[in-house]
């Protein structure tokens, strides 16, 4: 028997791809009973795009198939909404209304409805198509990052993580008022949270000192082809690094771009592991750059995996108690859920 802070909370997830499934996975790891609602034709597109991603985001969930374009299955979803706590959807704005649920959106009762979209349910960009690259471009992240991030920040933070925060807050509010609410989670707008401290510096923002161009805060290539990240941002950490490597003359040059080639050359003389052992005792904010496939065997992440797949955080339920089962086949649990959820 699973228990957690959200034990007894039922979640219907109509979303696809990354943002909604990530949000419902976090809720599942916190104890909620999550059911994916997929259409009979395509289901969650992530099944075809990346089986590995789909497995990681949907482990331990159940799947039912409903064709919401038919009156009978739309009525079935409405019945399920009456006995569930949270509905997550990531259709283009207006789709849920066209499917006949405008009244539920106007008066959700006790239901918390989380709507994830690129640009929000209203405003001039409401109907514009988009993907992660466009959301982070608009949010200032591409400019600040100096290029396109290799992970989907808008999907997972601007959408997924903000959806979790909104849902949890709405459930707390409902416990007090007895009323649910409709959440409008826009990935482009939500992504600006990643730049919030920097936006506070405008209009006189200083030069970006953390872009990897300064010797004290840089990723270095090592002898074995591995890389080592040095984050000796404060003077005391940089001075410890300089002392450890016998370069005290560098002590006041942590932000001097002209020093970079010399430090590059020095870090290239040892392997990543050798530098990590050597600099650990110096306590200078250094760390090896791990490839994603290395996480599983690294001691820092010993409790990260539920079965073969990573868990979510915060870890309010011990990893051993998380749903570690495989991701569901499309519609695998339709009869089971419809029977089980026939009454509260």
Count: domains in the chain: 2
Per the document, the length of the chain is 344
Active-site hit among 29, 85, 155, 333: 155
Instruction: Mark whether 297 is an active-site residue.
Output: no
Q: Are residues 123 and 244 in the same domain?
A: no
- Residues 169, 274 share a domain: no
Does residue 237 surpass a pLDDT of 90? yes
Supply the CATH number for residue 96's domain.
3.40.50.10540
Catalytic residue among 7, 42, 127, 131: 131
The rounded distance, in Å, linking the Cα atoms of 235 and 242 is 10
Please give the DSSP secondary-structure letter assigned to residue 154.
I
Q: What would the pLDDT profile of 314-329 be if each residue is shown by its tens digit?
A: 999 999 888 878 999 9
**Inside any domain, residue 91:** yes
The percentage of the chain sitting over the pLDDT mark of 70, rounded to a whole number, equals 99
Residue 204: per-residue pLDDT: 82
41 and 179 both lie in a single domain: yes
- How far is residue 39's CA from residue 18's CA, in Å, rounded to a whole number? 17
In this predicted structure, the answer to whether residue 243 has a pLDDT above a threshold of 80 is: yes
Give dist(CA 86, CA 100) in Å, integer. Answer: 18
Q: Give dist(CA 219, CA 229) in Å, integer.
A: 4
Tokens of 322: 């998380």
- Asked whether residue 268 falls in the same domain as residue 135, the answer is no
Confidence at residue 178, expressed as pLDDT on a 0 to 100 scale = 98
Q: Are residue 233 and residue 174 in the same domain, yes or no? A: no
286 within a domain of the structure (yes/no) = yes
Average pLDDT, the chain: 95
Q: Where are the alpha helices (DSSP H) in the chain?
A: 19-29, 46-49, 51-58, 71-81, 95-96, 102-106, 132-138, 141-145, 153, 162-177, 187-191, 196-199, 235-244, 260-267, 272-280, 334-340
Domain of residue 223 covers 217-293
Residue 328 domain-assigned (yes or no): yes
134 and 233 belong to one structural domain: no
Reply yes or no on whether 155 is catalytic: yes
pLDDT value for 2: 61
pLDDT > 80? residue 343: no
Statement to judge: residues 42 and 178 lie in one domain: yes
Distance CA 187, CA 132 (A): 8
In a domain, 70, yes or no: yes
* Same structural domain, 135 and 48: yes
Domain contains 1: no
Q: What is the pLDDT of residue 344?
A: 56
pLDDT at site 162: 98
Residue 298 belongs to some domain of the structure: no
Residues paired with residue 288 on neighbouring β-strands, in sequence order: 228
Q: What is the pLDDT of residues 52-78, one digit of tens each?
A: 999 999 999 999 999 999 999 999 999
Query: Does residue 303 fall inside a structural domain?
Result: no
Which pLDDT belongs to residue 308? 78
Q: pTM for the whole thing? A: 0.94
User: Do residue 251 and residue 278 come from a single domain?
Assistant: yes
* Mean of pLDDT values over 336-342: 93
Is 74 within a domain? Answer: yes
CATH number at residue 244: 3.30.1540.10
Interatomic CA distance for residues 3 and 79, integer angstroms:
26
- 221 in the same domain as 119: no
Q: Do 66 and 121 fall into the same domain?
A: yes
Is residue 85 within 8 A of residue 111, CB to CB? The reply is yes
* Residue-level pLDDT at 138: 97
Q: Are residues 129 and 70 in the same domain?
A: yes
Q: How confident is the model at residue 202 (pLDDT cuts 50, 70, 90)?
A: confident
């Amino acid at each position: 028997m699973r228990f957690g802070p959200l034990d007894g909370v039922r979640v219907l997830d109509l979303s696809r791809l990354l943002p909604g499934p990530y949000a419902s996975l976090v809720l599942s790891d916190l104890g909620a009973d999550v059911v994916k609602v997929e259409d009979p034709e395509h289901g969650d597109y992530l099944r075809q795009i990346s089986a590995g991603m789909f497995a990681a985001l949907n482990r331990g969930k159940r799947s039912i198939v409903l064709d919401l374009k038919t009156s009978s299955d739309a009525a079935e979803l409405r019945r399920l909404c009456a006995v569930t706590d949270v509905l997550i959807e990531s259709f283009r704005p207006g789709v849920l209304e066209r499917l006949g649920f405008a009244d539920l959106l106007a008066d959700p009762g006790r239901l918390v409805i989380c709507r994830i979209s690129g640009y929000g349910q209203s405003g001039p960009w409401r109907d514009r198509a988009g993907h992660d690259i466009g959301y982070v471009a608009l949010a200032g992240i591409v400019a600040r990052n100096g290029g396109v991030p290799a992970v989907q920040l808008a999907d997972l933070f601007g959408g997924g993580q903000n959806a979790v925060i909104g849902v949890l807050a709405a459930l707390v509010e409902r416990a007090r008022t007895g009323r649910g609410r409709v959440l409008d989670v826009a990935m482009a707008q939500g992504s600006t949270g990643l730049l919030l401290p920097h936006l506070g510096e405008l209009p006189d923002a200083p030069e970006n000192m953390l872009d990897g161009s300064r010797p004290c805060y840089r990723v270095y290539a090592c002898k074995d082809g591995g890389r080592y990240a040095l984050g000796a941002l404060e003077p005391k950490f940089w001075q410890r690094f300089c002392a450890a490597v016998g370069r005290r003359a560098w002590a006041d040059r942590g932000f001097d771009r002209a020093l970079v080639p010399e430090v590059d050359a020095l870090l290239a003389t040892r392997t990543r592991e050798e530098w990590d052992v050597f600099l650990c005792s110096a306590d200078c904010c250094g760390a090896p750059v791990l490839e994603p496939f290395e996480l599983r065997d690294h001691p820092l992440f010993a409790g990260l995996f539920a079965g073969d797949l990573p868990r979510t955080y915060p870890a309010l339920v011990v990893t051993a108690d998380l749903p570690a089962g495989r991701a569901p086949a499309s519609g695998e649990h339709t009869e089971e859920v419809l029977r089980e959820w026939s009454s509260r």
